Each structure stands twice: as structure tokens, then as C-alpha cells.
């Protein structure tokens, strides 16, 4: 089925470890996003991309890096994980910047940093 | 700048009762507006969207929302709640035009449905 696939679904990291979250979409969408969701705070945008090879900072970019080497993939990296990065991470994509169809979301990655 | 405010982080209704989830927006240009639903341990699913056509928008699972420019509101309603409607609901806004490249989400309203 077409959609947005996130891997892994769950991960436990120790403080200081690094990891990469992968987001893949097969809808030929131009725009892709990484959000984190924390209780009572809704969704906060970490980074986003408006096309292959482009990235931009969102609301809470510190401690994260991203890459969009291929149009269908958007990677989120944590170089040195901290307990404050314990969260549920969602990837989303949209066809273009007009948002006529909103976003398509992945099912999330639950990350715990101990 | 655009933003949405969802009034009430938790709403509890009885099964069969009216559901009303409130969303007010702030946007310098006419917006697109969306409601998303998140069931436990799942991603967000689009419920409905307003894209400047009809002001009363019907979505999936019997939900609808009305765009009221004079009140800058886009409240979500359902005439009769069902247990399966228990979830978290997010309102989101984007401008119709311009260079902004993202939706802005509210902080969410958790709907509890009781017997």
C-alpha cells in the first residue's frame, strides 16, 4: 500500500549514543517533515524538506540533523542522544506546498533515551 | 504567522452524546484548515479539510466541521459519539498561498467516550 513508512518503530538508546531514523514514501511527494510529539505539546516540527537535496530547520532543530539524498527518503539523525529527546517521532509528506491534501503521516517511532 | 488554538486538552462525552471539539485559528491570509485524528499508538489520519470551497465540511466517521470566518473558528462536531471515537484530535492550519511550507498544528484534544 502506498504511504509513509518509518523504521524502526521502537528504540531504546543510552545517553550519548547515535542513531538514524528512516522515513520512506512512495507517493512521489516533494515535501517531507519530521515532527516530535510530546504529551501536552502537540506536534513540533524538527526539520523539513521541500525537495530532493534540500533541508530546512523547523521549530525544534537542536540536537538533530537530516538528509534528503533521494526524493523518497528523509533521514533524521541524533548524533549524541539525550534524555530530553525521548519522544515519539513522526514523519509526514505532502505532494507540494499547496497542502490541498494535507499531510500523509507515518505510524511513528517511539524513542526512549536512558 | 499562522496558529491554531484548541480549547480543552481533554473532553469527555457519553456514548450517543454530541461531540464538540473547538479550534480557533489565527492567520494573516485565508487559510486551509484540517482536522486529524490519532488513535492510540498510531499515526495521524486526516479526518477532513477546508480548502475554501463549502464552509461546512463533511469528513470520515460522521464528523463535520464548519469554517466561520467571522469567528475565526473551525470546530469539529459529531451528532452522536461512539466508543470507537475515543482518540486524540488535532486541528491544523496552512495558508492558501505564500511561501510557508508547513502545516501548524494545535496541541490536541483528547476525546474520552464513556458508557
Cβ–Cβ < 8 Å for B87, B39: yes
Average pLDDT over residues B16-45: 90
Per-residue exposure over B41-60, b if at least 16 CB sit within 10 Å of its own CB, e if not: eebbbbbbbbbeeeeebebe
B32 touches chain A (CB under 8 A): yes
Compute the average pLDDT of residues A101-112. 90
Interface test with B, best of A66, A102, A108, A109 (most B CBs within 10 A): A102
pLDDT of residue B98: 53
CA distances from A25 to A5, A9, A21 (A): 6, 16, 14
pLDDT for the residue numbered B96: 62
The residue-averaged pLDDT of A21-46 equals: 92
CA atoms within 13 A on the CB side of B93: 23
pLDDT of residue B2: 78
Which of B32, B43, B98 should one mutate to test binding to chain A, selecting the residue with the greatest count of A CBs within 10 A?
B43
SS3 state at A23: strand
Contact criterion met (CB < 8 Å) for B43 and A100? no
Owner of C-alpha cell 523518497? A72
Residue B44 forms contact with A (CB below 8 Å): yes
Instruction: Indicate the range of A18-32, A44-58, A88-102, B62-76 predicted with least confidence.
Output: A88-102
The residue whose grid cell reads 540533523 is: A65
Minimum distance, in Å, between the CA of residue A19 and any CA atom of chain B: 21
Higher-confidence residue of B83 and B53: namely B83
Alpha helices in chain B (DSSP H): none
- Does a cis peptide bond (omega within 30 degrees of 0) precede residue A8? yes
**Is the CB of B46 inside 8 Å of chain A's CB atoms?**
yes
What is the model's pLDDT at position B23?
96
Integer distance in angstroms from the first to the last C-alpha of chain A? Answer: 35
Q: Is there a contact between A7 and A106 (Cβ–Cβ < 8 Å)?
A: no
CA distance A97 to B95: 10
Mind giving me the DSSP string for B47-75? Answer: EEEE-SS-SEEE-GGG-EEEEEGGGTEEE
Confidence of residue A1 (pLDDT cuts 50, 70, 90): low
Q: For chain A, what is the radius of gyration of the CA atoms?
A: 13
Which of A6-15, B47-56, B104-113 shows the lowest mean pLDDT across its residues?
B47-56
Check if A45 contacts B (Cβ < 8 Å).
yes
Residue B113: predicted pLDDT: 97
Provide mean pLDDT across the span B25-43. Answer: 86
Amino acid at each position: 500500500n502506498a504511504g509513509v513508512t518509518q523504521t524502526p518503530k521502537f528504540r531504546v538508546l543510552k545517553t550519548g549514543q547515535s542513531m538514524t531514523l528512516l522515513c520512506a514514501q512512495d507517493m512521489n511527494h516533494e515535501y517531507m517533515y519530521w515532527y516530535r510529539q510530546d504529551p501536552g505539546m502537540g506536534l513540533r516540527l524538527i526539520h523539513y524538506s521541500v525537495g530532493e537535496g534540500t533541508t530546512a530547520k523547523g521549530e525544534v532543530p537542536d540536537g538533530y540533523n537530516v538528509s534528503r539524498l533521494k526524493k523518497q527518503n528523509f533521514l533524521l539523525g541524533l548524533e549524541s542522544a539525550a534524555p530530553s529527546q525521548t519522544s515519539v517521532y513522526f514523519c509526514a509528506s505532502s505532494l507540494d506546498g499547496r497542502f490541498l491534501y494535507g499531510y500523509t503521516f507515518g505510524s511513528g517511532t517511539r524513542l526512549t533515551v536512558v | 504567522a499562522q496558529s491554531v488554538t484548541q480549547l480543552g486538552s481533554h473532553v469527555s462525552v457519553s456514548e450517543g452524546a454530541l461531540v464538540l471539539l473547538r479550534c480557533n485559528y489565527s492567520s494573516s491570509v485565508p487559510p486551509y484548515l484540517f482536522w486529524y485524528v490519532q488513535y492510540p499508538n498510531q499515526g495521524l489520519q486526516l479526518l477532513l479539510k477546508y480548502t475554501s470551497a463549502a464552509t461546512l465540511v463533511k469528513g470520515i466517521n460522521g464528523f463535520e466541521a464548519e469554517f466561520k470566518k467571522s469567528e475565526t473558528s473551525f470546530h469539529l462536531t459529531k451528532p452522536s459519539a461512539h466508543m470507537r471515537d475515543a482518540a486524540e484530535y488535532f486541528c491544523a492550519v496552512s495558508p492558501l498561498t505564500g511561501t510557508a511550507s508547513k502545516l501548524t498544528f494545535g496541541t490536541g484534544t483528547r476525546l474520552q467516550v464513556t458508557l
